[in-house]
């Protein structure tokens, strides 16, 4: 039995959340994911700060903590935990809003949440105990404690339940609405979850079939190249799993915030289908410098990698078309004068816009990385770190922050007030400045040959290393500014969760422009698109993968960290 | 599906640019032979010395022709083994004349390592069971640092050697 205050508080919150279009039970589900995401942001950000400080050479970690342990925490908690929890939570909110959620689906969603949480906790404990300083890519034959792999497996299994919940929501809606075009945002969530499911099969295969038995000592050796190929089969679609929720907000939310309409529903769906087709059969572009893979097949996957740039080009066009029509509708003229019609003082627009701007150099850098021979200049240099701090840690994260400014108040039945809006704009500027300095310095140092994933080193006093250290100071300055940005964002999150004035924040959902033509039904032909995606994967991987297995060298025994001491 | 005129121009321009890039990369790879390092030779990672190139006496710089060298390197945590000098101490620096044709041949006897000669295009992954090979000409005299650029354990950032390219 609940007491009276609790009941009235609950109905109160439920009423407010419902008004914004989200049942309170669904709001609570998404909010649980948000707590994990923002706690991760704080911990991961602190680890990042420690790294840039260590790399100046003026600071040593206390209590004998190892640099690579800190680096493992940073990568796992930001790239794997924060992203997965934020995305899955955000997608539940989108699905609840567009196609609804049944009690049964919600129950499974909570089971998924707790399995992922337990998996995260197990992994975290093993890393903190120093039994898994293998970085977030955990390449064999460096070996972590078996529980590290088991924890990660639980995170993936939990996320699969979320996949099935979202797809069940989506296809139940379709069954009830035969012959209708599905809601755009629900369609996008379905695509993202299908990409996630197909790609995680690869990492699950290497972890469950290869690494867990090998770490438990049930088998003596592991096939390195098979393991790496399965990992990177997952590794690139993973980055699209991060990016697509940002695109969901750009296509389906931002037009509403700027007082415009979705430029073209069909174009948005076409872009997402292209991601489904081209984001997976491209893993070799992370393995361009590896022995044992035929360079012909590397080139085939380079071609497919370039194809995945096309939907991003489409997205850039759609965004600016939306901006232009919204600006002109407000009476602004001139070639670029329409830009004045955009709500620059609204953080819900400003933060994602800065993220979009960052994607211009970030995308160009990505094409350089994937350019077959050109990759030799930048592979495993800190240029790559600079690259994904623009894509993931600027484009994606600033869009996630932009989403949070309205989503968290919607979930908690509060309002985004002027003070938080202003602070949010400051936070965005702090982030942009910090990242410009840090990522810029990383890009330049990388071109000079500075390696990624390396603690402070003078490399025997080499002249080249001396040159890199100057840029490491710049990275420390940029990184410190970014940490201030993280503290600001965590404050904003706490304020929006517990202290902002009660009220009804709008859940901004954009509509399609009146003059846009109807969406062709071919986009709803799921058998066709999934079939094509699988065909492309089989084309890109079958022959080289059989080659790798047939020409395998003897396997590798495990090497426990710190290598050489076991 | 109907596309706006500007959109068509944008897609044609964008896709055209990507195609142009791919054609240039393809010509470089298949016509001029500039492929990323993709050596297909395998060995036993627990017995690398069984391969001629990684026998102790063959490690380091070997002159094989008139202006042609092979550098055999055995990587292990956290060291690049370049053989021993006359006094029996490990070689840490190798000297190569500018403009010579050099083939780097390397492998690892434990975990994955990187092999990057900073400031040059020599950059490849070393994986247990495989030989990595890259042929190049180092034209610019100077001192280059060979570094491990793939995380290999607690001493990863200390793993290095030096290559001096000198004018003859």
Interface pTM (ipTM) of the complex? 0.95
Q: Choose between A514 and A448: higher pLDDT.
A: A448
DSSP state at residue B37 = P
H/E element, A447: helix A418-447
Whole-number Å distance between alpha carbons of B147 and B59: 17
Q: In this structure, what are the phi and psi dihedrals at residue B81, rounded to the nearest 5 degrees? A: -85, 115
| A388 among known catalytic residues | yes
Q: What SS3 state is found at B36?
A: coil
How far does the CA of residue B140 sit from the closest CA of chain A (Å)? 15
**Per-residue confidence band for A513, with pLDDT thresholds at 50, 70 and 90:** confident
How many other CB atoms are there within 10 angstroms of residue A157's CB atom? 16
Which H or E run contains A426? helix A418-447
Distance of CA A475 to the CA centre of its chain: 22
Residue A563 has a pLDDT of 61
Mean pLDDT for A353-364 is 96
Orientation angle between helical segments A83-98 and A397-412, nearest 10 degrees: 50
pLDDT at position A317 over 80: yes
Q: Are B70 and A409 in contact (CB under 8 A)?
A: no
Give me the pLDDT at residue A6, please: 43
Rounded Cα distance, A490 and B39, in Å: 49
pLDDT computed for residue A18 by the predictor: 60
Q: Say how far apart CA A466 and CA A104 lie, in whole Å.
A: 60
pLDDT at residue B3 in the model: 76
Residue A9 has pLDDT above 80, yes or no: no
What angle separates helix A347-369 from helix A309-329, to the nearest 10 degrees?
150
**Measured over all CA atoms, what is the biggest interatomic distance in chain B, rounded to whole angstroms?**
77
Check B40 against A290: CB less than 8 A apart.
no
Closest C-alpha among A238, A365, A229, A242 to residue A284? A229
Q: Confirm or reject contact between B8 and chain A (CB < 8 A).
A: no
- Asked whether the CA dihedral A518, A522, A523, A524 is positive or negative, the reply is positive
Whether the predicted pLDDT of A402 surpasses 60: yes
CB-based contacts of A188: which residues, under 8 Å, 6+ apart? A94, A244, A247, A248, A251, A252, A268, A272
Q: pLDDT for A496-512, tens place per residue?
A: 999 999 998 999 999 88
3-state percent helix, strand, coil for chain B, nearest multiple of 5? 25, 40, 40
Chain A contact present for B110, CB below 8 A: yes
- pLDDT beyond 60 at A10: no
Of A371, A381, A563, nearest to B25 by CB-CB distance is A371
In this prediction, residue A494 carries a pLDDT of 98
Residue B40 in contact with partner chain A when CB distance is under 8 A: yes
Nearest by Cα to B96 from B120, B130, B129, B123: B120
B 118-137 near A (Cβ less than 8 A): 118-119, 121-125, 127-133
**Tokens 């596309």 belong to residue:** B3
What percentage of chain A has pLDDT greater than the value 70?
A: 95
Question: Tens of pLDDT along A368-384?
Answer: 999 999 999 999 999 99
State yes or no: pLDDT of A157 exceeds 50. Answer: yes
Mean pLDDT over A27-41 rounds to: 97
Tens place of pLDDT for every residue, chain B, 168 residues? Answer: 677 888 889 999 999 999 999 999 999 999 999 999 999 999 999 999 999 999 999 999 999 999 999 999 999 999 999 999 989 899 999 999 999 999 999 999 999 999 999 999 999 999 999 999 999 999 999 999 999 999 999 999 999 999 999 997
Q: List, in sequence order, every residue forming a beta bridge with B42; answer none if it has no partner.
A: B130
A434 CA to chain B: closest CA distance, Å?
Answer: 25
User: CA of B1 to nearest chain A CA: how many angstroms apart?
Assistant: 7
| Cβ–Cβ gap B153/A270 under 8 Å | no
How confident is the model over A150-159, as a mean pLDDT?
97
Q: From the CB of residue A250, how many other CB atoms can be counted at a distance below 10 Å?
A: 24
Q: What would the pLDDT profile of A526-554 be if each residue is shown by its tens digit? A: 999 999 999 999 999 999 999 999 999 99
Per-residue pLDDT at A336: 86
Chain B interface disruption, residue of A318, A444, A445, A451, most B CBs within 10 A: A451
Mean pLDDT of chain A: 93
- Pull the structure tokens for residue B37: 């390092």
Output the DSSP codes for A131-174. S--STTT--TTEE--HHHHHHHHHHHHHHHHHHHHHHHHHHHHH
Name the minimum distance, in Å, from the CA of A181 to any CA of chain B: 15
Q: Is the pLDDT of residue A1 over 50?
A: no
The closest of A467, A482, A492 to A431, measured between CA atoms, is A482
pLDDT exceeds 80 at position A13: no
**What band does A562 get if pLDDT is binned at 50, 70 and 90?**
low
Which burial class, exposed, middle or buried, applies to B7 when counting CB atoms under 10 A from its CB (0-12, 13-18, 19+)? middle
DSSP-derived letter for residue A495 is I
> Which of B17, B44, B123 is most worth mutating to test chain A (most A CB atoms within 10 A of its CB)?
B123
Chain B residues closer than 8 Å to A270 by CB: 1
- Judge contact between A159 and A114, C-beta under 8 A: no
Q: Which residues of A fall within a CB distance of 8 Å from B132? A: 291
Give pLDDT, residue A63: 87
- Residue of A548, A294, A292, A553 lying closest to B132 (CA atoms): A292
d(CA B168, CA B164): 12
Q: Which of A289, A517, A559 sits opposite B111 (nearest CB)?
A: A559
CB pairs under 8 A between A and B: 229
Banded model confidence at residue A334, pLDDT cuts 50, 70, 90: confident
Give strand pairing partners of B96: B165
pLDDT over threshold 90, residue A50:
yes
Mind listing the pLDDT tens digit for each residue in A159-188?
999 999 999 999 999 999 998 899 999 999
Residue B100: which of B150, B46, B167, B154 has the closest Cα? B167
Taking an 8 Å cut-off on Cβ atoms, the answer to whether B160 and A450 are in contact is: no
pLDDT at residue B72, as a whole number: 97
Residues in chain B: 168
- Mark whether A453 is an active-site residue: yes
Q: How far apart are the first and last CA of chain A?
A: 57
Q: Of the candidates A299, A257, A427, which has an alpha carbon nearest to the alpha carbon of residue B33?
A: A299
Hunting for tokens 């790239």 — which residue is that?
A: A79
Inter-chain residue contact B154 with A133, CB threshold 8 Å: yes
B30, closest residue in chain A (CA to CA): A296
* Candidate list A33, A74, A106, A236, residue with the active-site label: A236
Give the pairing type, strands B132-137 and B123-126: unpaired
Note if A74 is an active site residue.
no
Q: Which of A131, A132, A129, A123 is nearest to A150 (CA)?
A: A123
Query: Is-catalytic flag, A168?
Result: no
> Do the bridges between strand A142-143 and strand A559-560 make them parallel or antiparallel, or are there none, so unpaired?
parallel
pLDDT of residue B1: 63
pLDDT at residue A5 in the model: 43
Q: What are phi and psi of A108, to 5 degrees?
A: -65, -35
Average pLDDT over residues A190-203: 97
Q: Does residue B114 belong to the interface with chain A, where contact is any CB pair within 8 Å?
A: yes
Cα→Cα distances A6→A2, A10, A11, A374, B119, Å: 6, 6, 9, 62, 66
B46 inside 8 A of chain A by CB:
yes
Residues in chain A within 8 Å Cβ distance of B25: 299, 302, 371-374
CA distance A557 to chain B (A): 8
Active-site residue, selected from the candidate residues A67, A86, A138, A240: A240
Using CA coordinates, name the residue in chain B closest to A66: B154
Q: Whose structure tokens read 């984001």?
A: A279
What are the b/e assignments for A518-550, b being 16+ CB within 10 Å?
Answer: ebeeebbebeebeeebeebbeebbeebbeebee
Question: Is the separation of the CB atoms in A56 and A14 below 8 Å?
Answer: no
């Amino acid at each position: 039995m609940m007491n009276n205050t609790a009941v009235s508080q609950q109905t109160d919150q439920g009423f407010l959340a419902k008004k914004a279009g989200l049942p309170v039970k669904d709001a609570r589900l998404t909010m649980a994911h948000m707590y994990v995401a923002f706690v991760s942001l704080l911990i991961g950000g602190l680890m990042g700060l420690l790294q840039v400080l260590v790399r100046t050479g003026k600071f040593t970690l206390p209590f004998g903590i190892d640099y690579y342990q800190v680096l493992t925490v940073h990568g796992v908690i930001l790239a794997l935990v924060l992203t997965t929890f934020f995305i899955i939570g955000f997608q539940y909110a989108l699905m609840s809003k567009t196609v609804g959620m049944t009690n049964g689906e919600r129950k499974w969603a909570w089971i998924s949440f707790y399995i992922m949480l337990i998996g995260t906790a197990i992994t975290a404990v093993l890393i903190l105990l120093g039994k898994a300083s293998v970085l977030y890519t955990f390449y064999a034959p460096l070996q972590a404690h078996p529980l590290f792999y088991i924890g990660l497996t639980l995170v993936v299994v939990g996320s699969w339940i979320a996949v099935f919940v979202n797809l069940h929501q989506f296809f139940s809606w379709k069954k009830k609405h035969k012959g209708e075009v599905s809601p755009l945002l629900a369609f996008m969530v379905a695509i993202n979850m299908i990409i996630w499911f197909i790609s995680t099969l690869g990492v699950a295969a290497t972890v469950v079939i290869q690494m867990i038995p090998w770490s438990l000592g049930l088998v003596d050796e592991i096939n390195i190249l098979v393991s790496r190929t399965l990992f990177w089969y997952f590794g690139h679609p993973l980055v699209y799993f991060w990016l697509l929720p940002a695109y969901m907000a750009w296509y389906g939310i931002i037009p509403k915030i700027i007082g415009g309409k979705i430029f073209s529903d069909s174009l948005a769906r076409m872009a997402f289908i292209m991601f489904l087709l081209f984001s997976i059969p491209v893993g070799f572009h992370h393995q361009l410098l590896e022995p044992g893979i035929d360079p012909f097949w590397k080139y085939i996957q380079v071609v497919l990698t370039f194809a995945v740039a096309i939907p991003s080009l489409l997205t850039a066009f759609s965004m600016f078309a939306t901006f232009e029509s919204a600006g002109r509708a407000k009476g602004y003229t001139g070639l670029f004068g329409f830009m004045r019609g955009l709500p620059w003082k609204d953080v819900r627009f400003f933060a994602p816009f800065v993220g979009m701007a960052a994607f211009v150099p970030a995308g160009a850098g990505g094409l350089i990385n994937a350019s077959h021979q050109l990759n030799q200049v930048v592979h495993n240099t800190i240029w790559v770190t600079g690259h994904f701090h623009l894509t993931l840690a600027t484009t994606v994260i600033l869009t996630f922050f932009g989403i949070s400014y309205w989503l968290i108040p919607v979930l908690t039945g509060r309002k985004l007030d002027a003070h938080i809006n202003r602070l949010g704009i400051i936070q965005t500027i702090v982030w942009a400045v910090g990242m410009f300095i840090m990522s810029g310095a990383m890009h330049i140092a990388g071109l000079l040959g500075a390696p990624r994933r390396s603690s402070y080193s003078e490399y025997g006093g080499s002249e080249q290393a001396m040159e890199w250290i100057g840029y490491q100071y710049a990275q420390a300055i940029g990184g410190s500014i970014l940490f201030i940005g993280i503290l600001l964002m965590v404050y904003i999150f706490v304020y929006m969760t517990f202290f902002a004035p009660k009220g009804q924040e709008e859940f901004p959902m954009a509509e399609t422009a009146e003059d846009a033509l109807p969406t062709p039904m071919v986009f709803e032909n799921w058998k066709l698109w999934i079939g094509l995606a699988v065909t492309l994967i089989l084309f890109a991987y079958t022959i080289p993968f059989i080659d790798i297995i047939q020409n395998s060298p003897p396997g590798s025994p495990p090497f426990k960290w710190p290598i050489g001491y076991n | 599906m109907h596309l706006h005129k500007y959109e068509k121009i944008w897609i044609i321009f964008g896709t055209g640019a990507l195609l142009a890039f791919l054609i240039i990369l393809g010509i470089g790879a298949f016509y001029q032979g500039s492929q990323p390092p993709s050596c297909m030779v395998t060995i036993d990672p627990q017995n690398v010395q069984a391969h001629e190139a990684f026998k102790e006496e063959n490690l380091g710089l070997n002159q094989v022709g008139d202006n042609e060298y092979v550098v055999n390197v055995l990587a292990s945590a956290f060291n690049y083994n370049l053989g021993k000098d006359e006094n029996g101490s490990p070689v840490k620096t190798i000297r190569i004349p500018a403009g010579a044709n050099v083939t780097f041949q390397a492998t690892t006897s434990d975990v994955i390592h990187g092999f990057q000669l900073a400031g040059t295009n020599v950059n490849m992954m070393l994986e247990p069971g495989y030989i990595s090979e890259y042929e190049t000409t180092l034209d610019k005299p100077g001192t280059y640092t060979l570094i491990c650029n793939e995380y290999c354990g607690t001493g990863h950032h200390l793993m290095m050697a030096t290559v001096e390219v000198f004018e003859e």
